[in-house]
Structure 1
Amino acid sequence: MAKPRVVFVLGAPGSGKGTQCEKIVQHFGYTHLSAGDLLRQERNDPASEVGQLIHNYIKEGKIVPVEITCGLIEKAMVKSGKSKFLIDGFPRNHDNLSGWNEQMGEKAEVAFVLFVECPEEVCTERILKRGQSSGRTDDNIESLRKRFNTYTKETVPIVRHYDQLEKVRKINGGTGRTPDEVFEDVKQMFQ
Protein backbone atom coordinates (compact mmCIF):
# COMPACT_ATOMS: atom_id res chain seq x y z
CA MET A 1 0.00 0.00 0.00
CA ALA A 2 1.28 3.50 -0.88
CA LYS A 3 2.38 5.82 1.87
CA PRO A 4 -0.10 8.57 2.76
CA ARG A 5 0.60 11.87 0.97
CA VAL A 6 1.06 14.84 3.32
CA VAL A 7 1.01 18.56 2.60
CA PHE A 8 2.17 20.70 5.51
CA VAL A 9 0.35 24.05 5.69
CA LEU A 10 2.39 26.74 7.41
CA GLY A 11 1.98 30.46 7.99
CA ALA A 12 1.71 32.97 10.79
CA PRO A 13 -1.19 32.75 13.27
CA GLY A 14 -4.18 34.28 11.47
CA SER A 15 -2.69 33.98 7.96
CA GLY A 16 -5.70 31.99 6.75
CA LYS A 17 -4.33 28.45 6.93
CA GLY A 18 -7.53 26.94 8.32
CA THR A 19 -9.77 28.78 5.83
CA GLN A 20 -7.70 27.59 2.88
CA CYS A 21 -7.56 24.04 4.26
CA GLU A 22 -11.38 23.92 4.32
CA LYS A 23 -11.45 24.90 0.64
CA ILE A 24 -8.75 22.35 -0.29
CA VAL A 25 -10.72 19.62 1.48
CA GLN A 26 -13.89 20.50 -0.47
CA HIS A 27 -12.12 20.87 -3.81
CA PHE A 28 -9.41 18.20 -3.72
CA GLY A 29 -10.65 15.65 -1.16
CA TYR A 30 -7.81 15.93 1.33
CA THR A 31 -8.33 15.16 5.01
CA HIS A 32 -7.52 18.23 7.12
CA LEU A 33 -5.67 17.67 10.37
CA SER A 34 -4.96 20.77 12.42
CA ALA A 35 -2.18 20.13 14.91
CA GLY A 36 -3.65 22.89 17.10
CA ASP A 37 -7.18 21.44 16.97
CA LEU A 38 -5.90 17.94 17.81
CA LEU A 39 -4.00 19.36 20.78
CA ARG A 40 -7.02 21.41 21.96
CA GLN A 41 -9.30 18.34 21.70
CA GLU A 42 -6.87 16.29 23.74
CA ARG A 43 -6.48 19.13 26.27
CA ASN A 44 -10.26 19.27 26.71
CA ASP A 45 -10.62 15.50 27.18
CA PRO A 46 -11.02 14.97 30.95
CA ALA A 47 -9.84 11.36 30.59
CA SER A 48 -6.56 12.41 28.91
CA GLU A 49 -3.42 12.22 31.04
CA VAL A 50 -1.54 14.62 28.75
CA GLY A 51 -4.40 17.14 28.53
CA GLN A 52 -3.18 19.32 31.42
CA LEU A 53 0.37 19.26 30.11
CA ILE A 54 -0.90 20.42 26.70
CA HIS A 55 -3.00 23.12 28.42
CA ASN A 56 0.07 24.57 30.13
CA TYR A 57 2.11 24.68 26.91
CA ILE A 58 -0.70 26.34 24.91
CA LYS A 59 -1.40 28.89 27.65
CA GLU A 60 2.24 29.96 27.63
CA GLY A 61 2.32 30.18 23.81
CA LYS A 62 4.93 27.40 23.77
CA ILE A 63 5.23 24.44 21.44
CA VAL A 64 3.95 21.12 22.79
CA PRO A 65 6.55 18.27 22.83
CA VAL A 66 6.75 16.63 19.42
CA GLU A 67 6.08 13.09 20.65
CA ILE A 68 2.63 14.17 21.81
CA THR A 69 1.80 16.07 18.62
CA CYS A 70 3.09 13.36 16.26
CA GLY A 71 1.24 10.70 18.23
CA LEU A 72 -2.04 12.63 17.90
CA ILE A 73 -1.46 13.24 14.17
CA GLU A 74 -0.61 9.61 13.49
CA LYS A 75 -3.64 8.42 15.47
CA ALA A 76 -5.91 10.75 13.48
CA MET A 77 -4.39 9.64 10.14
CA VAL A 78 -4.90 5.96 10.93
CA LYS A 79 -8.40 6.52 12.30
CA SER A 80 -9.45 8.41 9.14
CA GLY A 81 -8.54 5.53 6.82
CA LYS A 82 -7.66 8.13 4.15
CA SER A 83 -4.47 8.67 2.14
CA LYS A 84 -4.21 12.44 1.43
CA PHE A 85 -3.65 14.81 4.36
CA LEU A 86 -3.27 18.51 4.97
CA ILE A 87 -1.44 18.99 8.23
CA ASP A 88 -2.03 22.53 9.35
CA GLY A 89 0.33 24.32 11.74
CA PHE A 90 2.98 21.61 11.87
CA PRO A 91 6.00 21.24 11.98
CA ARG A 92 6.49 24.43 13.96
CA ASN A 93 10.17 24.09 14.87
CA HIS A 94 13.27 21.93 14.32
CA ASP A 95 12.27 19.64 17.20
CA ASN A 96 8.90 19.05 15.45
CA LEU A 97 10.67 18.39 12.16
CA SER A 98 13.14 15.94 13.71
CA GLY A 99 10.36 14.20 15.61
CA TRP A 100 8.23 13.93 12.47
CA ASN A 101 11.13 12.48 10.48
CA GLU A 102 11.84 10.01 13.28
CA GLN A 103 8.23 8.95 13.99
CA MET A 104 6.58 9.41 10.59
CA GLY A 105 9.37 9.66 8.00
CA GLU A 106 8.93 6.05 6.90
CA LYS A 107 5.13 6.11 7.24
CA ALA A 108 4.18 9.16 5.15
CA GLU A 109 5.48 11.16 2.18
CA VAL A 110 5.69 14.96 2.49
CA ALA A 111 4.68 16.18 -0.98
CA PHE A 112 5.25 19.88 -0.28
CA VAL A 113 4.74 22.76 2.15
CA LEU A 114 1.98 25.24 1.36
CA PHE A 115 3.21 28.49 2.89
CA VAL A 116 0.58 31.19 3.43
CA GLU A 117 2.34 34.57 3.58
CA CYS A 118 0.53 37.38 5.41
CA PRO A 119 1.71 40.57 7.16
CA GLU A 120 1.69 40.46 10.96
CA GLU A 121 -0.70 43.43 11.29
CA VAL A 122 -3.31 41.70 9.06
CA CYS A 123 -2.94 38.47 11.05
CA THR A 124 -3.30 40.33 14.35
CA GLU A 125 -6.48 42.07 13.19
CA ARG A 126 -7.98 38.75 12.02
CA ILE A 127 -7.15 36.91 15.26
CA LEU A 128 -8.48 39.62 17.56
CA LYS A 129 -11.70 39.65 15.52
CA ARG A 130 -11.88 35.82 15.68
CA GLY A 131 -11.22 36.00 19.43
CA GLN A 132 -14.51 37.83 19.96
CA SER A 133 -16.40 34.63 19.10
CA SER A 134 -13.95 31.71 18.97
CA GLY A 135 -13.76 30.93 22.66
CA ARG A 136 -10.06 30.12 22.16
CA THR A 137 -7.98 31.08 25.18
CA ASP A 138 -5.03 32.01 22.92
CA ASP A 139 -6.95 34.51 20.72
CA ASN A 140 -5.84 37.57 22.70
CA ILE A 141 -3.09 40.15 22.26
CA GLU A 142 -0.82 38.77 25.01
CA SER A 143 -0.84 35.17 23.70
CA LEU A 144 -0.65 36.49 20.15
CA ARG A 145 2.62 38.36 20.79
CA LYS A 146 4.11 35.14 22.19
CA ARG A 147 2.77 33.12 19.23
CA PHE A 148 4.25 35.56 16.68
CA ASN A 149 7.59 35.53 18.45
CA THR A 150 7.61 31.73 18.43
CA TYR A 151 6.53 31.67 14.77
CA THR A 152 9.31 34.06 13.68
CA LYS A 153 12.08 32.37 15.67
CA GLU A 154 11.07 28.74 15.21
CA THR A 155 8.66 28.18 12.29
CA VAL A 156 10.17 30.47 9.66
CA PRO A 157 13.41 28.39 9.70
CA ILE A 158 11.31 25.27 8.92
CA VAL A 159 9.91 27.00 5.83
CA ARG A 160 13.51 27.84 4.82
CA HIS A 161 14.52 24.20 5.35
CA TYR A 162 11.81 22.93 2.98
CA ASP A 163 12.56 25.78 0.57
CA GLN A 164 16.13 24.46 0.26
CA LEU A 165 14.61 21.09 -0.65
CA GLU A 166 12.47 22.90 -3.28
CA LYS A 167 9.32 21.76 -1.51
CA VAL A 168 7.74 25.14 -0.63
CA ARG A 169 4.82 26.60 -2.58
CA LYS A 170 4.08 30.16 -1.43
CA ILE A 171 0.78 32.01 -1.67
CA ASN A 172 -0.17 35.55 -0.70
CA GLY A 173 -2.84 35.25 2.00
CA GLY A 174 -2.66 38.90 2.97
CA THR A 175 -3.85 42.41 2.56
CA GLY A 176 -6.99 43.11 0.58
CA ARG A 177 -7.46 39.57 -0.70
CA THR A 178 -10.63 37.58 -0.13
CA PRO A 179 -10.36 33.90 0.83
CA ASP A 180 -11.72 33.00 -2.63
CA GLU A 181 -9.03 35.07 -4.37
CA VAL A 182 -6.36 33.37 -2.29
CA PHE A 183 -7.87 29.97 -3.14
CA GLU A 184 -7.51 30.67 -6.88
CA ASP A 185 -3.74 30.73 -6.22
CA VAL A 186 -3.94 27.67 -3.96
CA LYS A 187 -5.65 25.64 -6.72
CA GLN A 188 -2.60 26.13 -8.94
CA MET A 189 -0.44 24.53 -6.26
CA PHE A 190 -2.47 21.31 -6.31
CA GLN A 191 -2.63 20.80 -10.10
Structure 2
Amino acid sequence: MLQRLLGALPLLPALAQQRVMKPVVVFVLGGPGAGKGTQCARIVQKYGYTHLSAGDLLRDERKKPDSQFGELIDTYIKDGKIVPVEITISLLQREMDQTMQVNAQKNKFLIDGFPRNEDNFQGWKKTMDKKADVVYILFFDCDNETCIARCLERGKSSGRSDDNRESLVKRIETYQQSTKPIIDQYEKLGKVRRVDASKSVDEVFADVQKIFDKEG
Protein backbone atom coordinates (compact mmCIF):
# COMPACT_ATOMS: atom_id res chain seq x y z
CA MET A 1 0.00 0.00 0.00
CA LEU A 2 2.82 2.39 0.86
CA GLN A 3 4.46 1.84 -2.53
CA ARG A 4 1.16 2.61 -4.24
CA LEU A 5 0.78 5.82 -2.28
CA LEU A 6 4.29 6.89 -3.18
CA GLY A 7 3.03 7.37 -6.70
CA ALA A 8 1.70 10.68 -5.38
CA LEU A 9 5.29 11.93 -5.06
CA PRO A 10 6.85 12.12 -8.55
CA LEU A 11 10.62 11.75 -8.48
CA LEU A 12 11.25 13.42 -11.86
CA PRO A 13 13.11 10.48 -13.46
CA ALA A 14 13.75 12.41 -16.68
CA LEU A 15 15.71 14.99 -14.72
CA ALA A 16 17.79 12.30 -13.06
CA GLN A 17 18.97 11.25 -16.50
CA GLN A 18 19.65 14.81 -17.65
CA ARG A 19 21.66 16.25 -14.78
CA VAL A 20 25.42 16.14 -15.03
CA MET A 21 26.32 16.79 -11.40
CA LYS A 22 25.32 14.62 -8.47
CA PRO A 23 23.85 16.26 -5.38
CA VAL A 24 26.52 16.82 -2.73
CA VAL A 25 24.97 16.20 0.68
CA VAL A 26 25.84 17.12 4.24
CA PHE A 27 23.59 15.35 6.74
CA VAL A 28 22.80 17.60 9.72
CA LEU A 29 21.99 15.73 12.93
CA GLY A 30 21.47 16.49 16.60
CA GLY A 31 18.72 16.26 19.18
CA PRO A 32 15.52 18.33 18.99
CA GLY A 33 16.41 21.90 19.92
CA ALA A 34 20.12 21.53 19.16
CA GLY A 35 19.89 24.48 16.77
CA LYS A 36 20.07 22.65 13.45
CA GLY A 37 17.61 24.90 11.64
CA THR A 38 19.14 28.13 12.94
CA GLN A 39 22.64 27.11 11.89
CA CYS A 40 21.50 25.74 8.54
CA ALA A 41 19.98 29.15 7.69
CA ARG A 42 23.38 30.77 8.30
CA ILE A 43 25.21 28.12 6.26
CA VAL A 44 22.81 28.71 3.35
CA GLN A 45 23.46 32.44 3.47
CA LYS A 46 27.25 32.20 3.65
CA TYR A 47 28.04 29.06 1.64
CA GLY A 48 25.19 28.77 -0.87
CA TYR A 49 23.83 25.39 0.17
CA THR A 50 20.15 24.48 -0.17
CA HIS A 51 18.62 23.52 3.17
CA LEU A 52 16.19 20.61 3.24
CA SER A 53 14.66 19.82 6.61
CA ALA A 54 13.23 16.31 6.66
CA GLY A 55 10.94 17.34 9.53
CA ASP A 56 9.69 20.48 7.77
CA LEU A 57 9.02 18.56 4.55
CA LEU A 58 6.99 16.01 6.51
CA ARG A 59 5.09 18.71 8.42
CA ASP A 60 4.33 20.59 5.18
CA GLU A 61 3.16 17.39 3.52
CA ARG A 62 0.76 16.55 6.33
CA LYS A 63 -0.84 20.01 6.06
CA LYS A 64 -1.76 19.52 2.42
CA PRO A 65 -5.49 18.77 2.25
CA ASP A 66 -5.04 16.41 -0.68
CA SER A 67 -2.04 14.51 0.76
CA GLN A 68 -2.53 10.78 1.09
CA PHE A 69 0.22 10.77 3.72
CA GLY A 70 -1.07 13.55 5.96
CA GLU A 71 -2.87 11.52 8.61
CA LEU A 72 -0.12 8.89 8.74
CA ILE A 73 2.63 11.51 9.12
CA ASP A 74 0.63 13.35 11.80
CA THR A 75 0.26 10.21 13.88
CA TYR A 76 3.95 9.37 13.72
CA ILE A 77 5.07 12.90 14.61
CA LYS A 78 2.67 13.28 17.55
CA ASP A 79 3.86 9.95 18.95
CA GLY A 80 7.50 11.00 18.59
CA LYS A 81 8.07 8.14 16.15
CA ILE A 82 10.02 8.11 12.89
CA VAL A 83 8.00 8.31 9.67
CA PRO A 84 8.52 5.40 7.22
CA VAL A 85 11.72 5.92 5.24
CA GLU A 86 10.08 5.55 1.82
CA ILE A 87 8.01 8.69 2.43
CA THR A 88 10.90 10.78 3.75
CA ILE A 89 13.33 9.84 0.98
CA SER A 90 10.68 10.48 -1.69
CA LEU A 91 10.12 13.99 -0.33
CA LEU A 92 13.87 14.70 -0.10
CA GLN A 93 14.59 13.39 -3.59
CA ARG A 94 11.72 15.39 -5.05
CA GLU A 95 13.07 18.60 -3.52
CA MET A 96 16.63 17.98 -4.70
CA ASP A 97 15.44 17.18 -8.21
CA GLN A 98 13.27 20.29 -8.37
CA THR A 99 16.09 22.51 -7.10
CA MET A 100 18.54 21.17 -9.70
CA GLN A 101 15.94 21.40 -12.43
CA VAL A 102 15.91 25.16 -11.89
CA ASN A 103 19.73 25.37 -11.65
CA ALA A 104 21.85 22.28 -12.26
CA GLN A 105 24.85 23.95 -10.60
CA LYS A 106 22.96 24.33 -7.33
CA ASN A 107 23.83 20.84 -6.19
CA LYS A 108 24.96 21.30 -2.56
CA PHE A 109 22.37 20.30 0.04
CA LEU A 110 22.09 20.33 3.81
CA ILE A 111 19.71 17.54 4.77
CA ASP A 112 18.60 18.32 8.29
CA GLY A 113 17.17 15.61 10.56
CA PHE A 114 18.06 12.61 8.42
CA PRO A 115 18.98 9.73 8.66
CA ARG A 116 17.29 9.28 12.01
CA ASN A 117 17.52 5.51 12.42
CA GLU A 118 18.94 2.33 10.90
CA ASP A 119 15.95 2.03 8.58
CA ASN A 120 16.64 5.56 7.28
CA PHE A 121 20.33 4.73 6.90
CA GLN A 122 19.70 1.53 4.95
CA GLY A 123 16.90 3.12 2.91
CA TRP A 124 19.21 5.93 1.82
CA LYS A 125 21.98 3.47 0.91
CA LYS A 126 19.56 1.39 -1.15
CA THR A 127 17.84 4.29 -2.91
CA MET A 128 20.32 7.16 -3.06
CA ASP A 129 23.90 5.88 -2.75
CA LYS A 130 24.56 6.12 -6.50
CA LYS A 131 22.48 9.26 -6.93
CA ALA A 132 24.05 11.54 -4.30
CA ASP A 133 27.39 11.92 -2.50
CA VAL A 134 27.28 12.26 1.28
CA VAL A 135 30.47 14.04 2.31
CA TYR A 136 30.00 14.06 6.08
CA ILE A 137 27.60 14.47 8.99
CA LEU A 138 27.49 17.84 10.73
CA PHE A 139 26.63 16.80 14.29
CA PHE A 140 25.25 19.40 16.72
CA ASP A 141 25.95 17.89 20.12
CA CYS A 142 23.80 19.31 22.92
CA ASP A 143 22.64 18.04 26.33
CA ASN A 144 19.02 16.96 26.73
CA GLU A 145 17.90 19.62 29.22
CA THR A 146 19.18 22.47 27.05
CA CYS A 147 17.38 20.96 24.06
CA ILE A 148 14.10 20.64 25.97
CA ALA A 149 14.30 24.21 27.30
CA ARG A 150 14.93 25.58 23.81
CA CYS A 151 12.03 23.64 22.28
CA LEU A 152 9.59 24.70 25.01
CA GLU A 153 10.56 28.31 24.42
CA ARG A 154 10.19 27.82 20.66
CA GLY A 155 6.81 26.18 21.23
CA LYS A 156 5.38 29.45 22.57
CA SER A 157 5.37 30.82 19.03
CA SER A 158 6.09 27.95 16.63
CA GLY A 159 2.63 26.40 16.60
CA ARG A 160 4.28 22.98 16.34
CA SER A 161 2.22 20.23 17.95
CA ASP A 162 5.37 18.40 19.07
CA ASP A 163 6.96 21.34 20.95
CA ASN A 164 5.59 20.19 24.31
CA ARG A 165 7.35 18.34 27.13
CA GLU A 166 5.59 15.00 26.60
CA SER A 167 6.42 14.84 22.90
CA LEU A 168 9.93 16.16 23.53
CA VAL A 169 10.76 13.42 26.02
CA LYS A 170 9.62 10.83 23.46
CA ARG A 171 11.58 12.53 20.68
CA ILE A 172 14.77 12.63 22.74
CA GLU A 173 14.36 8.97 23.69
CA THR A 174 13.92 8.13 20.00
CA TYR A 175 16.99 10.21 19.14
CA GLN A 176 19.17 8.50 21.77
CA GLN A 177 18.00 5.00 20.84
CA SER A 178 17.81 5.34 17.07
CA THR A 179 19.75 8.34 15.73
CA LYS A 180 22.83 8.40 17.96
CA PRO A 181 23.91 4.90 16.80
CA ILE A 182 23.84 6.15 13.18
CA ILE A 183 26.12 9.05 14.13
CA ASP A 184 28.41 6.53 15.83
CA GLN A 185 28.54 4.47 12.61
CA TYR A 186 29.59 7.49 10.57
CA GLU A 187 32.10 8.41 13.29
CA LYS A 188 33.89 5.11 12.68
CA LEU A 189 34.12 6.03 9.00
CA GLY A 190 35.69 9.39 9.87
CA LYS A 191 32.68 11.21 8.44
CA VAL A 192 31.40 13.14 11.47
CA ARG A 193 32.15 16.81 12.15
CA ARG A 194 31.09 17.54 15.72
CA VAL A 195 30.06 20.97 17.01
CA ASP A 196 29.31 21.85 20.65
CA ALA A 197 25.75 23.13 20.22
CA SER A 198 25.28 24.20 23.85
CA LYS A 199 27.08 27.49 23.13
CA SER A 200 25.47 30.70 21.88
CA VAL A 201 24.25 30.90 18.28
CA ASP A 202 27.21 33.06 17.23
CA GLU A 203 29.76 30.82 18.97
CA VAL A 204 28.30 27.72 17.36
CA PHE A 205 28.37 29.30 13.91
CA ALA A 206 32.00 30.32 14.40
CA ASP A 207 32.80 26.62 14.88
CA VAL A 208 30.63 25.69 11.89
CA GLN A 209 32.52 28.15 9.68
CA LYS A 210 35.82 26.52 10.57
CA ILE A 211 34.44 23.22 9.25
CA PHE A 212 33.00 24.63 6.02
CA ASP A 213 36.01 26.83 5.30
CA LYS A 214 38.20 23.73 5.54
CA GLU A 215 35.93 21.18 3.87
CA GLY A 216 34.04 23.35 1.39
Give the shorter-chain TM-score range.
over 0.9
What residue number does 1:187 align with?
209
Matches within 5 A, 1:1-191: 1-81=20-100, 82-174=106-198, 177-191=199-213
Distance 1:41 1:109 in 2: 26
How far apart are residue 2 of structure 1 and its match? 2.4
Per-residue CA deviation, residues 98-132 of structure 1 (Å, 9 max, x unaligned), is: 00111111110001000001111111110000001
Tell me, which stretches of 5 or more residues in structure 1 are unaligned? none
**2:114 counterpart SS class:** coil
Tell me which structure has the larger Cα radius of gyration: 2
Q: Secondary structure at the match of 2:169?
A: helix
Measured against aligned partners, the alpha-carbon deviations of 1:111-154 in whole angstroms (never above 9, x if no partner) come to 10000011111111100000011000000000001000000000
| 2:122 partner amino acid | S
In the superposition, the TM-score normalised over structure 1's length comes to 0.98
Deviations 1:8-58 (A, max 9, x none): 000010001111100000010000000000000000001111111111111
Q: Tell me, in whole angstroms, the C-alpha distance in 2 between the residues paired with 1:127 and 1:53.
A: 23
> Aligned equivalents of 1:45 and 1:102: distance in 2?
28
Q: Larger deviation: 46-55 or 65-74?
A: 46-55
Unaligned runs of 5+ in 2: 1-19, 101-105
Query: How many pairs does the alignment contain?
Result: 189
Once residues 121 and 59 of structure 1 are traced to their aligned partners in structure 2, the CA distance between those partners, rounded to angstroms, is: 20
For residues 59-85 of structure 1, give each alpha carbon's deviation from its aligned partner in whole angstroms, at most 9, with x where no partner exists.
111000000000000001011113000
Matched position secondary structure for 2:193: strand
How much does 1:190 deviate?
0.9
With 180-189 and 135-144 compared, the bigger mean Cα shift is at: 180-189
**Equivalent pairs: percent with the same residue?**
58
Letter in 1 for 2:130: E
Structure 2 distance, partners of 1:6, 1:153, is 24
